[in-house]
Amino acid sequence: MRRILIPTDFSDIAENALKYAIEIAAKFDGELLLYHVYSMNKKLDYDWDFPEDEQPYVMDLERKMNNLKGKYKEEFKRKGISIETKVEEHHIFTLFDTLVRKHEIDLIIMGSQGATGLEKVVFGSVAAQALDLAKVPVIVAPPLYEYQAIDKIVWATDLNSVSANTLAPMQELAVRFNAHLTILNINTGESKKKSSHQIESYLQNVETTYQEAPLSESINQSINLFIKAMKCDLLCMIRREKGFFESLFQTSITKEQVYNTQTPFLVLPEA
């Protein structure tokens, strides 16, 4: 996971995700790609007094990007991290599909605005869409989260079959941070503990334990209660095309978690 994409809209939420990405990249001798995409409204943003390549709207975005890069210049140098920045006109969602492939991205780290109802906007909805589109793992960093080393990882799973390739990024993080991994299954009436043995065989060199937690009002609430009690540093889930949770509750548990998590949230696309 060397090449890490950080989408930014120059907000505090996005900058907080950048801080988190710096720490992850330092563990992997990583390369950061800090990306801002914009859509120019010709009626509102275009200044006809300036040529195409000198538009004040775009020049202001470039200035913000340079300022952001400069703010962390010494930290990049101290941690041995290379950083590349791009400001380009694209639709935001091309970041998680076309541009991820173009730039050979291994991991996306981004912020999310935790909210409910009509307030599920800005990076909240963008992060949720990223989970649908991205073919690489995505880490969503909560707005106010202050980085701390990853010592405890909780993987919330339905214990359905999963490939070693799908779990590889989580395993790599656990090994690099020497973290303990708890395999969490929300007990809906049928124990699948035996299914966990094959899964654990994929997680070589990772200390693991298996736990079941009771179902409360919802799967998400059950997960959040557990990770709060465990004081875990990273929550992980797999994004399936149609998994157990989705078929049972007719909703996306992973997307809902984006809006509610108080812990960094790693989503693995099913391989």
What's residue 113's pLDDT?
A: 65
Cβ contacts of 125 within 8 Å, gap of 6 or more: none
Beta bridge partners of 64: none
Pairwise CA distance, residues 189 & 191, whole Å: 7
* Per-residue pLDDT at 271 exceeds 70: yes
What's residue 198's pLDDT?
A: 63
Cβ contacts of 120 within 8 Å, gap of 6 or more: 113, 128, 259
Between these two residues, 55 and 86, which has the higher pLDDT value? 86
Looking at mean pLDDT, say which of 110-114, 115-119, 120-124, 222-226 comes out highest.
222-226
What's residue 47's pLDDT?
A: 72
User: What are the tens digits of pLDDT across the range 9-33?
Assistant: 999 989 999 999 999 999 999 999 9
Give the confidence band of 159 by pLDDT, cuts at 50, 70, 90.
confident
Burial class of residue 46 in the structure, from the number of CB atoms within 10 Å of its CB (0-12 exposed, 13-18 middle, 19+ buried): middle
Q: Which three-class secondary structure state does DSSP give residue 183?
A: strand
Q: What is the value of pTM for the model shown?
A: 0.87
Dihedral sign (CA 238, 21, 141, 231): positive
What is the secondary structure of 197-219 as a DSSP string?
HHHHHTSTT--EEEEEEE--SSH
What is the helix (H) or strand (E) element at residue 82, kind and residue range? strand 82-89
DSSP assigned state of 232: -
Question: How far is CA 172 from each of CA 19, 31, 202, 203, 222, rounded to the nearest angstrom?
Answer: 20, 17, 11, 9, 26
User: What are the tens digits of pLDDT across the range 208-245?
Assistant: 999 999 888 888 899 999 999 999 999 999 987 654 44
Range with the poorest average pLDDT among 75-84, 204-213, 245-254: 245-254
> How high is the mean pLDDT of the chain?
84
Question: Over pLDDT 70: what percentage of the chain?
Answer: 86
Question: How far is CA 118 from each of CA 15, 157, 169, rounded to the nearest angstrom?
Answer: 24, 29, 33
